[in-house]
Amino acid sequence: MESTAETFVFYLLIFLASIIGFLLYFYAPHWKVRRVPGPSPIPIVGHLPLMAKHGVDVFKYLTKQYGPIYRFHLGRQPLVIVADAELCREVGVKKFKDFPYRSLPPPITGSPLLLKGFGSMREPRWSAMRNAITSLYQPTHIGSLLPTMQSCIEILCENLSNAYDEDINFSNLSLRMTNDIIGKTAFGVDFGLSGNPSNKKTNETSVNEDDEVSHFLEQHIRCTNSLKMDLNGSFSIILGIVVPILQEPFRQLLRRIPGTVDHRIDVANSILRDKMDGIVAKRESEPSNRWGSKDFLSALLNVREAKGRALKDLITPDYVSGITYEHLIAGSMTTSFTLTATIYLVTKHRTVEEKLLEEIDGFGWHDAVPSPIDLVERFPYLDQVLKESMRLYMSSPLIAREADRDVEIGGYKLPKGTWVWLAPSVLANDPENFPNPNAFRPERFNPDGHEEKLRHPYAYFPFGIGPRACIGQKFAIQEIKLSLIHLYRRFVFRCSPELEEPPELEYGMVHEFKHGIKLRVIKRTFT
Ligand code: HEM
């Protein structure tokens, strides 16, 4: 009898201890930032249901309710959201030493290749590598890639010429082009996604003759689709969001069970990693071919060899694979989304279209190829159109940082390890800095205009902020401007009757148009 009572008490204690452990595990992160205002989180899922309902717009509503700094719970993990230009400057620039890293959400921690990319890198590797390769992103090197970009843009134009009087999904076509550009400029490989325009029509799926490349890209697409920040990812990613401690053990378990999403992603990740390692090893063994090549991978290997032992030990082949692969994620979806958003917005605003065509036509004769300097200096209105499009459709609406020590922001003490996320897309809609924020009005970015002069210098940062800002910004701007110039010299676009209004957005690691942007292509005629 006595022993039954003891056993009962023993199990009761275990039960109570588990409940207390569970509560401590869930509430400890919340407790540390409890003084920061914010809506009450739902146990386990936090505010994910709000995100599922409103997408990233949820931050606009919460900013109105809670002010410029508040808590948002991504499952168990509290984020401190900062939606004020001056506070963003403080986190991203003035206190960069306190926030030198990006926090790594579960989709990234589940991707071995992305863990070796720039985005995930910490000190001392990050500064050493960023300094070593910064020259590859400077105007001289980026300018030398212009002919390669142009050749891919021309294929897109040829494809569009064949699509006369048909509906096209511009998002798909532009994504193929931007992937092809990254293929050539980063990998030195022709992905051939846009196909051969002489015998293919645009709306047909481009069939790639090269099985190796298409297999690689298939795995890439599978991995990219798994990078979701909500409850649509693999089981281990969902666990990572709600019970992070279980992510790795479950990933290890599930990746061994065929048929699970984790297994499929693991297979895809291994294939990608093997392929990337193979590409890097092959390129490394061909020094003579490498020195003449301009692609990022060859240039990175050359830098590694030229700059001595210390750098060679830092830029190991697995990091070379990681950084090169990262370009596919960081450099193609972002650029394609921005190009598509710009075409969509210009199509819907005829006065902007007229003004833009006038500037582009005024550049020179029809086939004149703008130089990299022309692109920077001779298209001021195009600059304004691009900035305004990125304001309304920001590819990266949230910028992640993590406190590397105890720090105070906006009057709140944040302990080391706090995830602080900046919300540039909320700032970009703030009527104080952007009067009538829902209107598409490129002139608000006119450098001589009143509005531009009055604006806070950190009210707009679509490419991120401070030393950790996007390294590929000049690359992206050159590519998008060159594409727009070539496209508008030959075509204008009109909305397809099937165009979704307003287009629904999907947020994985970056924004995408969920159902694409359906347009009609009109060839321009010159008399
Ligand atoms: C319209 C196109 C693009 C947009 C809107 C964009 C935006 C961003 C943003 C917001 C960040 C985070 C910055 C921060 O944390 O402060 C970032 C980082 C990064 N981007 Fe881009 N990006 C674009 C194109 C590109 C391209 C074309 C490349 C490569 C060729 C690239 C490579 C990177 C890399 C490597 C990082 C991580 C930098 C680091 O941590 O040091 N991006 N980008």
Residue 203: band (very low, low, confident or very high) from pLDDT cuts 50, 70, 90: very low
DSSP secondary structure, 310-324, as one string: HHHHHS-HHHHHHHH
Burial of 244 (0-12, 13-18, 19+ CB in 10 A): middle
Ligand 1 contact via 118 beta carbon (within 6 Å): yes
Q: How many CB atoms lie within 10 A of CB 3?
A: 7
Q: For the residues 291-301, what does the mean pLDDT come to? A: 84
pLDDT for 199 beyond 60: no
List alpha helices for 315-416, DSSP H.
317-328, 334-347, 350-361, 372-377, 380-392
The response to whether residue 327 sits with its C-beta less than 6 Å from ligand 1 reads yes
Phi and psi at 101, nearest 5°, equal -120, 160
Q: Please name the helix (run of DSSP H) or strand (run of DSSP E) that holds residue 507, with its range, or none.
A: strand 505-507
The neighbouring-strand residues paired with 505 are: 513
- Lowest-pLDDT range, 19-33, 82-96, 327-341? 19-33
- β-pairing, 77-82 with 419-422? parallel
- Alpha-carbon distances, residue 453 vs 391, 425, 445 (angstroms): 17, 20, 9
| pLDDT the model gives residue 20 | 85
Q: Is the pLDDT at 358 greater than 60, yes or no? A: yes
Please report which confidence band the pLDDT of residue 434 belongs to, taking 50, 70 and 90 as the band edges.
very high
Q: Which atom of ligand 1 is nearest to the CA of 92?
A: 16
3-class state of residue 237 by DSSP: helix
Ranked by mean pLDDT, the top range of 7-16, 205-214, 267-276 is: 7-16
Looking at ligand 1, which atom is closest to the CA of residue 338?
1
Among 122-131, 411-420, 439-448, the range scoring the smallest mean pLDDT is 122-131
- Please check the confidence at residue 350 and state whether its pLDDT lies above 50: yes
Q: For 475-495, what is the mean pLDDT?
A: 96
- Comparing C-alpha atoms, which of 480, 456, 469 is closest to residue 393? 480
* pLDDT, position 124: 83
Written as six digits, the tokens of 76 are 């168990």
In this structure, the number of other CB atoms found within 10 A of the CB of residue 479 comes to 30
Evaluate the CA torsion angle 340, 228, 459, 480 in order and state its sign. Answer: negative
Distance from residue 119's CA to the centre of ligand 1 (Å): 8
Cα 349 from Cα 493, distance rounded (Å): 11
Read off the tokens for 482: 């060159």
pLDDT band at 63 (very low <50, low <70, confident <90, very high): very high
Return d(Cα 154, Cα 208) in angstroms, integer.
Answer: 18
Q: How far is the CA of 469 from the centre of ligand 1 (A)?
A: 7
Supply the mean pLDDT for the chain. 88
Which residue, among 80, 62, 63, has the nearest Cα to 71 in the 3D structure? 80
Max mean pLDDT among 44-58, 277-291, 387-401 falls in: 387-401
Please give the number of the atom of ligand 1 that sits closest to the Cα of 401.
15
Q: d(Cα 403, Cα 401) in Å, to the nearest integer?
A: 7
CA 391/CA 427 separation, integer angstroms: 9
Q: Going by CA atoms, what residue is nearest to atom 31 of ligand 1?
A: 472
Ligand 1 neighbourhood includes 338 CB (under 6 angstroms):
yes
By alpha-carbon position, which residue is closest to atom 24 of ligand 1?
331
- Give the mean pLDDT of 322-338: 91
Please give the helix or strand (H or E) that residue 64 lies within, else none.
Answer: helix 58-66
Residue 520 C-alpha to ligand 1 middle, in angstroms? Answer: 31
CB 400 within 8 A of CB 102: yes
Q: How far apart are alpha carbons 392 and 48 in whole angstroms?
A: 24
Question: Cα(349)–Cα(343) distance, rounded to whole angstroms?
Answer: 10
What is the band of 239 on the pLDDT scale with cuts at 50, 70, 90?
confident
Ligand 1 atom closest to 465 (CA): 16
Query: Which atom, in ligand 1's list, is nearest to the CA of 117?
Result: 35
Q: Is the CB of 119 under 6 A from ligand 1?
A: yes
33-42, 243-252, 285-294: range with highest mean pLDDT: 33-42
Nearest CA to ligand 1 atom 37: 119
Residues 43-63 have a mean pLDDT of 89
Is the pLDDT reported for residue 200 higher than 50?
Answer: no
| Ligand 1 centroid to residue 40 C-alpha, Å | 33
**Rounded average pLDDT over 365-392:** 93
Of 526, 499, 527, give the one whose Cα is nearest residue 515.
Answer: 499
Give the mutation target among 96, 178, 333, 470 for probing the ligand 1 site: most ligand atoms within 8 A of CB.
Answer: 470
475 Cβ inside 6 Å of ligand 1:
yes
Predicted local distance difference test score (pLDDT) of residue 366:
74
Q: How confident is the model at residue 150 (pLDDT cuts 50, 70, 90)?
A: very high
Residue 204 pLDDT exceeds 50 = no
Q: What is the pLDDT of residue 209?
A: 46
* Closest residue CA from atom 36 of ligand 1: 470
pLDDT surpassing 50 at residue 208: no
Could you tell me if the CB of 335 is within 6 A of ligand 1? Answer: yes
- In angstroms, what is the span from residue 42 Cα to ligand 1's centroid? 33
The annotation status of 223 as a binding-site residue, yes or no, is no
Percent of residues, the chain, with pLDDT higher than 90: 51
Greater confidence (383 vs 15) lies with 383
Q: Report CA(282)–ligand 1 centroid distance (Å).
A: 27
Nearest atom within ligand 1 for CA of residue 326: 35
Which pLDDT band holds residue 202 (cuts at 50, 70, 90)? very low
Tokens found for residue 205: 């799926």
